[in-house]
Amino acid sequence: MKDIIYLDTAILHSFLAQSNDGLPTTSSNERGEEIKDTNEKEKGNKSGTSFQTTVKTGSFDIPFLFKSPEGDFKVVLQPGQFSSEKAIMSQTESGKEIISKQLHDNALEVFEKYLEEADLLVDDNEVNIKGRFIKCTSSFKIIDFKYLKALLQTEKIVRFTFYDQTEQIKKMQSELNSSPKEQRNKLKAFVNEKERLLNKEKQELTSEFSFIEEALEYLQNVLPTDSFLIMGNKIAPLKNNFLRETAKELMFKYGEESEDIKINMIAKVTRVISSTSMPDLSQGDPFFEFPQILNAVLGPIGIINKGDLVVSPIAIYFE
């Protein structure tokens, strides 16, 4: 059984529409039935004959938006000696069809079978791999830059990191006045040195985290999405509307890469990273070189490497 965490239904819609001369829809039928019996004793003779009539209630349909219920009203009548007819049983049936474009997960099975039968899946070591479909299984990492930016609050992290040392120095400073006079200056110099070294460590960590915050802000502005899946040499941008769990949840659950947990991915290769070096904008047309700057930013922080594959994921699932 597949435990799907990501499914690009837009691609599956297109595949099914092209394969079935239009997009199949799922439908669910709701039926309601009411039966009412009435027993009455009347004097006089009544005819033993009876007849049944069916009256259809109309439906009102606005394509893709609304469809009113359509039903039948059945009446069984027995004529008698009186001027009026008596209905001894009434039965109503209503049918309502709810049209939905939601695809069942079975659509993925159909698509995967099609790729296999058409021999469209290739190995990720294929030479001419751009534009080809791959299916791979490996350990993985989830990266969500929006979550990381929210997590990386420099001032608070620095405070939490050095909280114990800071409190220890405060305690030492408060005890200086009660120390022997002949040792006070020496102890004061010692405490001041400890405080200086601590402040230096805080500044170094603050500078490092500030750079990371700046990098995250830059990446959020230029990357097509906040969330990515990394599987070996493959990096897949994730569209939030196709995720079945938020990237924040996935990062919390699978934040560290583990060889014990494997994931499967069906994807289309769109690009091969040719370089992670800063491009020479003085050569050729600089406007076409600007996208390479992103590679130069992602490379040093370990997101991509030369030769990695950028892929468009269709399905990501555990099995």
The pTM for the full model equals 0.64
Structure token digits, residue 86: 């008596």
Q: Is the pLDDT of residue 12 over 60?
A: yes
The total of other beta-carbon atoms located within 10 Å of residue 311's CB is: 24
Percentage, residues of the chain above pLDDT 90:
26
pLDDT of residue 24: 60
Q: If you count DSSP H runs as helices and E runs as strands, how many of each does the chain have, helices first? A: 8, 14
The mean pLDDT of the chain is 76
| d(C-alpha 133, C-alpha 268), whole Å | 4
pLDDT of residue 25: 56
| d(C-alpha 235, C-alpha 233), whole Å | 7
Geometric angle at alpha carbon 124, from 306 and 225, rounded to 5°: 60
- Which carries the bigger pLDDT value, residue 167 or residue 59? 167
Comparing CA positions, the residue from 228, 5, 319, 262 lying closest to residue 139 is 262
Percentage, residues of the chain above pLDDT 70:
69
First-to-last alpha carbon distance for the chain, in angstroms, is: 6
| d(C-alpha 87, C-alpha 194), whole Å | 99
Cβ pair 234, 311 in contact under 8 A: yes
pLDDT tens track for 261-287: 899 999 999 999 888 888 777 676 766
Q: Among 94-103, 127-136, 155-164, which stretch is predicted with the lowest mean pLDDT?
A: 94-103
- Which carries the bigger pLDDT value, residue 81 or residue 178? 178
pLDDT of residue 313: 96
pLDDT band at 197 (very low <50, low <70, confident <90, very high): very high
pLDDT tens track for 299-312: 877 788 898 999 99
Q: Among 230-234, 252-256, 280-284, 294-298, which stretch is predicted with the lowest mean pLDDT?
A: 280-284
Q: Is the pLDDT of residue 230 over 80?
A: yes
HEC per residue, 104-162: CCHHHHHHHHHHHHCCCEECCCCCCCCCCEEEEEECCEEEEHHHHHHHCCHHHHHHHHC
pLDDT of residue 274: 85
What is the rounded (10 degree) CA torsion for 184, 185, 186, 187? 50
pLDDT of residue 289: 67
Give the list of residues 6+ apart from residue 306 with CB closer than 8 angstroms, or none.
Answer: 273, 274, 275, 276, 299
Whole-number Cα distances in Å, 200 to 122, 156, 186, 206 = 54, 17, 21, 10
Q: Is the pLDDT of residue 71 over 80?
A: no
Residue with tokens 């039965």: 91
- Which carries the bigger pLDDT value, residue 237 or residue 15? 237
pLDDT tens track for 29-62: 444 444 455 555 444 544 444 445 554 444 444 3
Q: Is the pLDDT of residue 319 over 70?
A: yes
pLDDT band at 23 (very low <50, low <70, confident <90, very high): low
